[in-house]
């Protein structure tokens, strides 16, 4: 029996995006828009779009071109991590 270690299918950041897409759809009954991910992750629109394109290129999600809110996760829910809260810094006065 060989103990071949497979490389991870996705990075930690990609994991969080996948978890967000899955949880958002579960809670809201519809897929998230890129603007929803932008607000949650506190990133720019190009950052979100680049991540979505990369996830689709890797086959981790699928979407319907020119159809809003059509992102679907191709990874089994059991393989997704828990969605982690975004760490922000709060200034104290």
Cβ-based neighbours of 14, under 8 Å, separated by 6 or more: 51, 54, 55, 58, 60
The residue ranking higher by pLDDT, 10 or 53, is 53
CATH code of residue 16: 1.10.10.10
Contacts 24+ apart (CB under 8 A), 58-67: 58/9, 58/10, 58/14, 60/9, 60/10, 60/14, 60/18, 61/18, 61/21
- Supply the pLDDT for residue 50: 97
Q: 26-83: per-residue pLDDT in tens?
A: 999 999 999 999 999 999 999 999 999 999 999 999 999 889 899 999 999 999 988 8
Cβ-based neighbours of 48, under 8 Å, separated by 6 or more: 34, 37, 38, 41
Q: Is the pLDDT of residue 91 over 70?
A: no
Range of the domain at 38: 12-78
Counting the structural domains of the chain, the total is 1
């Amino acid at each position: 029996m060989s103990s071949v270690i497979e490389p991870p299918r996705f990075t930690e950041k990609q994991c969080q995006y996948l978890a967000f897409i899955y949880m958002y759809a579960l809670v809201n009954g519809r897929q998230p828009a890129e603007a929803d991910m932008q607000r949650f992750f506190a990133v720019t629109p190009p950052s979100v779009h680049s991540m979505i394109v990369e996830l689709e290129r890797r086959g981790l999600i699928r979407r319907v071109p020119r159809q809003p809110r059509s992102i679907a996760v191709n990874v089994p829910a059991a393989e997704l991590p828990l969605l982690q809260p975004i760490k922000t810094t709060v200034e104290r006065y």
